[in-house]
């Protein structure tokens, strides 16, 4: 190799190093500046409000048999989130199991009650007896 070829390789290596350092520099602060938990997680409203939500037991995993009311708020938020759908071999999702829907709605009810974001049910007004003009004196 000639000195000219060495110089060309050296220039090319320096250019590659400069590109690599420019590409890796912006990515590092973006990952480091990302907060671990940025406020409350986005949890959908329950499709059905469960009255005794804290008494609903978990039916799977390490908390199997434990009522939701005795779990930490972080665990309840985990159960309240929308899970990835389970897919059949042809790619279509399985319908959700009734136990999963009950647990998810109960957890969502607890979370939204705690946040104060659970919509209030409509107030049912009972009609009073009609007022009669006949007053017994």
Total domains present in the chain: 1
Does 27 fall in a domain?
no
Question: What residues make up the domain containing 74?
Answer: 53-115
Q: Determine, yes or no, domain membership for 123.
A: no
Condensed to tens digits (0 to 9), the pLDDT of residues 84-99 reads 888 999 989 999 999 9
pLDDT of 30 higher than 50 = no
Question: Is a pLDDT exceeding 60 seen at residue 35?
Answer: no
Q: What is the mean pLDDT of the chain?
A: 82
> In this structure, which long-range contacts are made by residues 49-56, counting pairs with CB atoms below 8 Å and at least 24 apart in sequence?
49/105, 49/109, 49/118, 49/121, 50/102, 50/105, 50/106, 50/109, 53/105, 53/106, 53/107, 53/109, 53/110, 53/113, 54/106, 54/110, 56/102, 56/103, 56/106
Q: Residue 108's pLDDT is what?
A: 94
Phi, psi at 64, each rounded to 5°: -55, 130
Give CA–CA dist 31/62, Å, rounded. 31
| Within-domain flag for 91 | yes
- Residue 37 included in any domain: no
- Residue 31 banded pLDDT, cuts 50, 70, 90: very low
């Amino acid at each position: 190799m000639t000195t000219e070829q060495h110089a060309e390789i050296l220039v090319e290596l320096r250019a590659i190093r400069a590109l690599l350092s420019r590409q890796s520099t912006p990515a590092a602060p973006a990952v480091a500046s990302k907060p671990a938990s940025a406020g409350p997680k986005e949890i959908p409203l329950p499709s059905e409000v469960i009255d005794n939500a804290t008494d609903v037991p978990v039916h799977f995993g390490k908390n199997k048999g434990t009522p939701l009311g005795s779990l930490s708020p972080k665990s309840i938020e985990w159960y309240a989130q929308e899970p990835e759908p389970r897919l059949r071999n042809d790619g279509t999702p399985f319908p959700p199991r009734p136990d999963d829907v009950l647990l998810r709605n109960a957890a969502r009810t607890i979370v939204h009650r705690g946040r104060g974001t659970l919509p209030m049910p409509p107030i049912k007004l009972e009609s009073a007896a009609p007022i009669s003009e006949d007053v017994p004196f």
